[in-house]
Structure 1
Amino acid sequence: MNDVITLIGQLRDGDEAAFEKIYKLYFARVFHFAKIIVKNEDLASDVVQEVFVKVWNNRRLIDVRRSFEALLFSMTKNRAIGVLQEASRHKHILEKIVKSATLADRTSQPELL
């Protein structure tokens, strides 16, 4: 536990080696958690990558007094849900486009007798 707190402190200071150690320490569990939510390995991989990029970009805001693991899993859950919502929106838009194209195709074709 103290090792993680030390790593988090080093991460906050911009230590890339500490970030890499944290990444290796948590990657498998975070990936598995994301995969449970999104049910797709590629999407889970994207989620994990985005979460760790956000951790790096916001490293100075990490509170070492709070559970880093809880923060990481909360970020992963939120990003995974966001990915699912985006996919749902894209699917809905695509369905509308296909429906419109199908209707337009039907109305533009002359009837065969």
Structure 2
Amino acid sequence: MKFGAVIAALGVSASVAGAAPVWAAPPSCFPNKATVAFETSDAAVAICTTDSGFRYKGHALNKDTDIEVPATAENRDGGGVNYVAKNQGYTYTVWDSKRLVIIGPHDEMVSDETGT
């Protein structure tokens, strides 16, 4: 199951048939700063830095569906940072190297994509 299917299954946002995606680029963090922002073949994602911490913003490119939830930063062994967000049993991990991994509620791999 891909990102858009996960978001649709969660009922995060309704879509209109044939509607254009809300974001043609990674989601905006305005007025805050984007720490990481990229697109994969299925999703546009951003990790936003706010006064209260990090926020994960994701958008399914083929559907008018999106998600925004709190995220935490985790230092990786050997350098780099992962940003982790959880919502309704799903775990969204964003690497600072533009990789998005989504794990489902039963620890199944839903998506593993590298962005541009």
Q: TM-score, normalised by structure 1?
A: 0.24
More helix as a share of residues: 1
Higher relative contact order (CA 8 A, sep 6+): 1
| Bigger Cα Rg | 1
More strand as a share of residues: 2
